[in-house]
Every structure is written in C-alpha cells, then in structure tokens.
C-alpha cells in the first residue's frame, strides 16, 4: 500500500488547487480522480471561457444553511489572490460585467494552470481511480480503488456536486460523509432555471426564445436581470439565480416591466385607450416583445377592442405585468444545473480548517459542502478559498 501525507479525492477546481497549496507546504500529496480527464467542469464552465472568480465576492453572495461558516475562508483567500496567480501565468482575461472575470481564450488555460502548479510541486495525480472503499484505523485513512490501495493521515474530499452527471459527477462525498456519521443538508439542483406547470406551458406556448430584462422575486429574495423563455420553462441569469432560492411549491413573482411602477403602467395603458386605439400594441410592445405582450394581455382578460376595455381590466393588466405569479413545477434538474445546493453540513466542519469536528484528519472542500454561490464566478471562488484554507491546515 502506497502511503502519503494527504490524499485528495477529486481533481476538480478545489482538489487541484488544494493539492498544489498543500504540496507547497512540503506535504506528499496524492490526488485520485475517477474520470479519465481531470477538471471536466472547469472545461465547460463559463461557456468554455471559465468565469474563474468574481472581483466583488462576499459572504452574502452564498446560499447556505450556516452563513457564519463562509466569511473566514473568503477572507483567507480573496478574489485578488487568485487573480494574481492568473496574471503571473500570463493568462489573458477580461471583466464581462459586475466583477465577473472570464478567460479571453479558453477555460483550458485555468485547468492547465491548476495542473502545472500541482505538477511543479510534486503532486501525484492518478486518473480513472474509482474509490471502492474508505476506511480509517491506526490514525490513517485507507482508500481502496479498483486497482490499488493508498493510505494517508489526512483525507480531503473534493468530489464536487451532483450537477452535470454526464461529466462523471458522483455522490462519493456524501457516501463518505454518511459513513462517518456527518449530517447532510438535502441537496438539490441549483442555477438551473425553473419549469412550467401544465397551465403555464399552455400560456407560454410558442414564446420560446424571447428574452428580456425583468425582476423576479421569491419571498424576500429579489433580482433584476435577463430572463429567457424556453419550451419547458424559464431560464436566463435571473432564473438560474432564482433556482438557488426556490423551494418546491413556492410561488415566483415576475415583474415584466421593472422600470415602471404599477400606476405608471396603468396610466400608460389608459392613455392608449383614451387615444382611441383599437389594440394594445403600441404602448405595450414598446416595453415588451410583442408576442409576449399579446399573451400577457390576453391572460389578464384584456381582449377585443382596446378602446372599449373597462378601466378595471386595464388595472388588472397593469397588476399582471408587475406581478405575474405562478408556482413552477420543478427545476430543470441536475443535467442542466450548474451547481448543487445543499451538501455536507458545514456545522460538522471547522470554518478555519474545513476539518470535520468529530473525525480528525477528514476534510471537505468545494461544492460538496453546503455553500453555493450565485451565478457569476462565485462558485469557483469558493473552491479556491475553501481549498486554500484547508491547505493551510494540512
Ligand atoms: C456547465 C457549468 C458551467 C459552470 N460555470 C461556472 C463558472 O463560469 N463560474 C463558476 O464560478 N462556477 C461555474 N460552474 C460551477 C463550478 O464548475 C463548480 O462549482 C466547481 O467546479 C466546484 O469545484 P469542486 O472542485 O468542488 O468540484 P468539481 O470541479 O466538480 O470537481 C470534482 C472532481 O471530483 C471528481 N470526482 C467526482 N466523483 C469522484 C469519485 N467518486 N472519485 C474520484 N473523483 C471524483 C470529478 O470528476 C471532478 O474532477 C459551472 C458548472 C457547470 C456544470
């Protein structure tokens, strides 16, 4: 059996970064990856350009059941720290918007950066190693794969989330957590968009492809960003973020004209009516794509000759435009989700080291734990920050 100081399960963003930082501290590090290629999610991230951090990342950008856990790691390794590494490697990048940093060329340059840093520091990376069993005795962790067994005094679980199973995601992290008696916050697909229930499917039929800027709210959460109507539901940045906060059965509220208030919309519609127009088109379709405007008007009962519509109908239409409510059927699921919400309960871990409180030597980093960032580079920043924080203790 080969022995190491540290074994890291998963050669993704967190695992590779943690490996290099740990090896830089003189530790003998082994990374075991079940896929034939490391970092599969890095390669597809950011539409192939990897939104590798967000310059403004702060604890409030993360959804977790234990918010007190997040600030320490983020303060230990900040976006500017990763940006320095990217700059030092000469990787060209740009800010798309709102602090979101993307590679100019390809996400592969971030994966290459992680791999070369690990290799330069002597990390051993073994691919196609499916973990069959993890055990612990004599102060050592033993990992048995289909071909060999390895041992180390410290084991880091960096196996990521359940999204995109087509890239080889697995629940190994959860199995290890359960084996050692750790609590898990129920995982769910997130940054995924939400699907229509049957009646909304009929209402939005034929509108796929329309995109516009709207405001969406779920209880106290609210965001104004772009939405996209698809054949099965609503997507686009605002809906991906909404799926991070949505619980099954919850109503979502869409404001289709967020630049106005209800009264302004009502007065605008009324002016149109008093002008003797026979259709709603000019005023509404200046503000909304025409096909969507027509559908929403029909839905609010504004049908027939516009000039003859009662004021109450216009009021109802104004209200509908500002607060279109429905209960989504579901998220688009793990196959479409960028991340998983939930995961290993961070109350089980030290926020200063990522080590399990009741299992010394066992660490969890990255997406496998119950810390999920919103869209825009926050999830990679969590991978770097949690990995770095753990590495300082390994
Ligand atoms: C399509 C898509 C686009 C994204 N775009 C962005 C973006 O632009 N910006 C951003 O911040 N976030 C983005 N994300 C999210 C981001 O990729 C993840 O949050 C991040 O990769 C998490 O890092 P991690 O190391 O925890 O997990 P991962 O990077 O997923 O790494 C986990 C590793 O563990 C391996 N593994 C899994 N099971 C086992 C096992 N049983 N044995 C051994 N190894 C195993 C996996 O193969 C993988 O290599 C995107 C995600 C997707 C799916």
pLDDT of residue 308: 84
Helix, strand, coil percent content, the chain, rounded in steps of 5: 35, 25, 35
pLDDT for 229 beyond 80: yes
Q: How far is CA 70 from each of CA 349, 353, 389, 390, rounded to the nearest angstrom?
A: 11, 12, 11, 13
Q: Is 44 in the pocket of ligand 1 (CB under 6 A)?
A: yes
Q: What is the best residue among 9, 11, 12 to mutate for testing ligand 1's pocket, by most ligand atoms within 8 Å of CB? A: 12
pLDDT tens for each residue of 313-361: 999 999 999 999 999 999 999 999 999 999 999 999 999 999 999 999 9
pLDDT for 31 beyond 90: yes
CA of 94 to the centre of ligand 1 (A): 22
Of all protein residues, whose CA lies closest to atom 30 belonging to ligand 1?
A: 160
Residue 380's nearest CA partner among 112, 126, 48, 110 is 110
Cα angle, residue 112 at apex, residues 110 and 115 outer, rounded to 5°: 110
Residue pointed to by tokens 């996400």: 107
Q: What is the best residue among 10, 111, 146, 170 to mutate for testing ligand 1's pocket, by most ligand atoms within 8 Å of CB? A: 10
- pLDDT over 90, % of the chain: 88
Q: How confident is the model at residue 283 (pLDDT cuts 50, 70, 90)?
A: confident
Q: What does the DSSP assignment read for 206-243? A: T-TT-EEEEEEEETTEEEEEEEEE-SSEEESHHHHHHH
pLDDT tens for each residue of 286-307: 889 989 998 998 888 888 787 8
CA neighbours closer than 13 Å in the CB half-sphere of residue 41: 31
Round to whole Å and give the CA distance between 69 and 75: 11
pLDDT of residue 329: 98
pLDDT of residue 281: 61
- Pairing between strand 211-218 and 252-255? antiparallel
Domains located in the chain, CATH noted: 2-188+340-391 (3.50.50.60), 194-331 (2.40.30.10)
pLDDT of residue 128: 95
Q: Look up the pTM and report it.
A: 0.95
CA neighbours closer than 13 Å in the CB half-sphere of residue 181: 4
Q: Is 110 in the pocket of ligand 1 (CB under 6 A)?
A: no
pLDDT tens for each residue of 233-280: 999 999 999 999 999 999 999 999 999 999 999 998 888 776 666 566
pLDDT of residue 208: 97
Q: Which residue has the higher pLDDT, 173 or 1?
A: 173
């Amino acid at each position: 059996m080969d022995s190491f100081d540290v074994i890291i399960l998963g050669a993704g963003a967190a695992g590779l970064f943690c490996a290099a930082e740990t090896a830089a501290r003189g530790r003998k590090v082994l990374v075991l990856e079940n896929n034939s290629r490391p970092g599969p999610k890095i390669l597809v991230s950011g539409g192939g350009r990897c939104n590798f951090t967000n310059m403004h990342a702060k604890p409030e950008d993360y959804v977790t059941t234990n918010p007190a856990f997040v600030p320490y790691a983020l303060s230990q390794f900040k976006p500017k720290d990763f940006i320095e590494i990217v700059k030092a490697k000469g990787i060209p990048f740009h800010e798309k918007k709102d602090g979101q940093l993307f590679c100019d060329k390809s996400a592969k340059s971030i994966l290459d950066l992680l791999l070369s840093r690990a290799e330069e520091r002597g990390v051993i990376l073994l691919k196609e190693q499916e973990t069959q069993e993890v055990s612990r005795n004599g102060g050592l962790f033993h990992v048995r794969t289909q071909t060999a067994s390895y041992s180390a005094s410290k084991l880091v679980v960096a196996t990521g989330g359940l999204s995109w199973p087509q890239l080889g995601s697995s629940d190994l992290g959860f199995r290890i957590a359960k084996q050692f008696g750790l609590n898990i916050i129920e995982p769910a697909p997130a940054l995924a968009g939400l699907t229509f229930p049957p009646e909304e499917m009929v209402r939005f039929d034929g509108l796929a492809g329309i995109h516009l800027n709207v405001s969406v709210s779920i209880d106290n959460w609210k965001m104004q960003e772009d939405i996209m109507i698809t054949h099965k539901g609503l997507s686009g940045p605002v809906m991906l973020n909404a799926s991070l906060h949505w619980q099954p059965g919850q109503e979502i509220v869409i404001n289709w004209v967020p630049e106005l208030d209800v009264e302004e919309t009502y007065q605008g519609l009324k002016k149109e009516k008093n002008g003797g127009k026979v259709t709603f088109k000019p005023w509404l379709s200046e503000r909304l794509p025409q096909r969507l405007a027509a559908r929403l008007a029909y839905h609010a009962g504004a049908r027939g000759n516009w000039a003859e519509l009662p004021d109450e109908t216009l009021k109802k239409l104004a209200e509908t435009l500002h607060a279109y409510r429905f209960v989504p059927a579901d998220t688009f699921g793990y196959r479409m989700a960028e991340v998983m919400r939930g995961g290993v309960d961070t109350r089980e871990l030290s926020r200063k080291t990522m080590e399990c409180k009741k299992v010394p030597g066992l660490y969890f980093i990255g997406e496998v734990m119950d810390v999920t960032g919103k869209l825009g580079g926050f999830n990679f920043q969590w991978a770097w920050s949690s990995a770095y924080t753990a590495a300082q203790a390994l």
